[in-house]
Amino acid sequence: MSKKLADSKYLRWGILILVGFILSVNYYFYDAFSTLKDLLVQEFSFTNTQYGLFVAFYSIPNTFLLMAVIGGVILDKLGIRRTGFMFIFFMAFGAVLTAYGASDFYKDGLGYGFMSSFLPNYSPELKMMLLGRFFYGLGAETSIVVISKVLVKWFKGKDLALAFGLKVGFGRLGTFAALNLSPVLANNGQTLGVAVWFAGILVCIGLLAFIIYIIFDLKFDKEVKDTQVLLSEKDKFKISDIWGILSNRAYIFIALLCVTFYSAVFPFVAFAPDFFANKFGMSAVASGQITSLLPLGTMIFTPIFGALIDRLGKAASVMTFGALILLIVHLTFALTNIPPYIPMVLLGISFSLVPAAMWPTMVKLVEEKQIGTAYGLMYSIQNLGLWGFPILAGVILDTTNPGNPEVLNYTYTILMFAALGLLGLFFGYMLKHNDKKYGLGVDQPLNKK
């Protein structure tokens, strides 16, 4: 009886689709601005550094306020429903605020005069969009932690790595849609507001989807409560458990690999359409389509790799190999003129290997009562890189292209991403070495106790 709902295959996979949609709209909004960079520069006089700041502002609440960590602790304390609704609401509120700042309504609307009264070097549109990006980031990262715990709740012992692989696929579907739809909706700047509002409204629909999930979660918990003994005190999460997580050798190496790997991918994607336009002379639509090969590849390969890891293990080896591919791809972009099609497909494979192995492995490293906090810590560490490196990429771009030339040279910016790939490879090697030396269990199949 206690497992009646979770044992229903159709319901379990239906839950995955429901929360996967929430993840998709989250990623859609995050990446919707990648192909709009040039239009934002023209419309609102953004510099490359200011655009990098806009991308980075997403990570400020999770880096400096540790909201992903706090959100994970709240999740372990208050549960999925209350935590999920609160933070997905923040995500939706921030998305609407960002869309408002980029829309025509804002110029004669609420807040424009106030935003014009300080920091004159930053446009009122940028300041309102930064505020929206802050609230969006405040909710978005913890919402991903919530979704991860939802999958652990419904899929533990039942193809968990495959579920996480499909979860990653849903996120990449959002990115793929954003990179292809956003420039089309913007129509070379004539309907920029339409592109931005569409992204914001999608996130609001994601909030409604979570409300639907709450109904199923209530029924699941009622069945468990009716048939199982309540958790004893030793089984409940305590703040002191954080030290146990941070003292786990495998967790530390995975966290370091996480921050270097994702910092070499997400900030790169934010600049990639502009990079392709400048280096290869592509249009905004074509650049977005090339960039979308990355999420397209991950949609295909991540579930496959996840299913293999469920059964064969080798998670540490897979993460190390994925980091190696990442390094090769960025060196190719920086130092050669090879057309970007094949490197982007390889980057998609790399971006499938590492997440497919990294996120479900957490279940082997920490107790279930700590899972929200463990993911929250990981996302907070990851956001340190997602905050700093977009800004650094913009600074390098402005510094190495004095006078803001029409055609930007991205070589040094891409080499920075390659350096992050090299660091990721080192941490992957250390993870594999320590796993073999100390028997940490990272390379074991997930279904092995």
Alpha carbons 313 and 189: distance in angstroms, whole number: 48
Domain ranges of the chain: 9-438
> What one-letter code names the amino acid at 226?
D
Q: How far apart are CA 54 and CA 216, in angstroms?
A: 37
User: Which spans in 336-410 are helix H?
Assistant: 341-365, 371-399
**Torsions phi, psi of 109, nearest 5?**
-115, -165
Place of tokens 């990294």: 358
Fold of 9-438: Growth Hormone; Chain: A; (1.20.1250)
SS3 content of the chain, % helix, strand, coil (to 5): 80, 0, 20
Q: Which residues, 6+ apart, have CB-to-CB distance to 14 below 8 Å?
A: none
| pLDDT tens for each residue of the chain, 449 residues long | 345 666 777 888 899 999 999 999 999 999 898 888 888 888 888 888 888 898 889 888 988 887 878 888 888 888 899 999 999 999 999 999 999 988 888 888 888 888 888 888 888 988 999 999 999 999 998 899 899 889 888 887 777 778 888 888 898 889 889 988 998 998 877 888 889 999 999 999 999 999 999 999 988 887 766 545 444 444 555 666 677 778 888 889 999 999 999 999 989 988 998 899 899 988 878 888 888 888 888 888 888 888 888 888 788 899 999 999 999 999 999 999 999 999 998 999 999 999 888 888 877 777 777 788 888 888 888 888 988 999 999 899 989 988 767 788 999 999 999 999 999 999 999 998 888 876 767 777 665 54
